[in-house]
Structure 1
């Protein structure tokens, strides 16, 4: 068994990170764009696009978890740490599936055209703006908790690397390509 995750898992992990950063940045910085401007429109489309990609990638990552076993953590951590890690991963997966799903449903039930990567998405034939607003409120209320999940996840990975001196962080890092030495 390998001491690292499969390359596809590593790639999707870091792609998820970049897309989550994009989704959060477009949310946080949307106020810098004038409402109704092309910049504001670009922020909104970027937010919808990144969030939708996060949903698809998180579902793909679940499938990959069934296909590839997780590499062992060496030295082996105490059972309580392993249990806590599993709970944290479950929370991250559920959160980053539920949050974009709520965002998509709020747009769908609003009944107005919305876009992912510039492509118009379907809307409900029976729009319900009140329900859409409620779902959007849930989406906006839950979103800040993502900062905590990401922060705890990152701090735990760094603690494993620097304090516990195990291979937890290294298992998810991309491999460095070996460079052929050239003679002068």
Structure 2
């Protein structure tokens, strides 16, 4: 059922989660890139990797809340309505972003588990998902790094699409997700 007066903006919690996820994802990427500035096995490099992992797992926890909010709250319509192919492409990009936010943290958890390393989460140590298996750890790490590279493009495409709709199409795509009216 479509509401007779659909909302003009996403729910506040959805907006807050969207922008928090952006900060977390930017931090996850920055931390893993910046770790290279420090010598292997240094305290600073290990801190970067631990924060990368913990922020990634935070994304994993919060993505489920985001998905619940999508199910509970109606999606505000884009006005004027975009062509069907743009709507389809937007749905595909959103699906891929959600798969990224679920799959990448799980892959990180699997890597640490298979490498028989501790799994830190803000002072807690999480249980291993699998037993030690260095070949499996290397395989998942390669996948994690490859998909992580694709994530740059996917996040960039999402951001560019929002800016395109705002500044070129002049529709309300971006405005629906802004924390102010």
Relative to the length of structure 2, the TM-score reads 0.92
| Of 19, 26, 36, the match for 1:21 | 26
Aligned to 2:81: 76
Distance apart, 1:124 and its partner CA: 5.7
Q: Deviations over 1:52-96 (max 9, x none)?
A: 111111122111110011001111111111111111111111122
Partner Cα distance (1:135, 1:125) in 2: 12
**Correspondence 1:86 to 2:91:** yes
Runs of 4+ more than 3 Å apart = none
Contact 1:45 1:117 in 2 (8 A): no
In the TM superposition, what is the alpha-carbon distance from 1:144 to its structure 2 partner?
Answer: 0.5
In structure 2, what is the Cα distance between the partners aligned to 1:162 and 1:84? 19
Runs (5+) with no aligned partner, structure 2: 1-5
**Distance between the aligned counterparts of 2:130 and 2:91, measured in 1?**
41
Distance 1:132 1:161, change over 3 A: same
Quote the Cα distance in structure 1 between the aligned partners of 2:141 and 2:89.
30
Q: Select the residue among 99, 104, 110 that pairs with 1:99.
A: 104
Residue 41 (1) aligns with residue 46 (2): yes
Deviation at 1:125, TM superposition (A): 7.3
- Rounded to whole Å, the distance in 2 between the matches of 1:86 and 1:175 is 24
Task: After superposition, give the CA deviation of every residue in 1:109-130 in whole Å (9 maximum; x if it has no partner).
Answer: 2212231224222236731121
1:113·1:120 contact (CA, 8 Å) conserved in 2?
yes
In structure 1, how many angstroms separate the alpha carbons of the residues matched to 2:105 and 2:118? 17
**Cα separation, 2, equivalents of 1:147 and 1:107:** 23
Alignment length, in residue pairs?
176
Greater alpha carbon shift after TM alignment, 30-39 vs 43-52 = 30-39
Of residues 3, 11, 16, the one that matches 2:8 is 3
Unaligned regions of 5+ residues in structure 1, if any? 177-184
2:121 match:
116
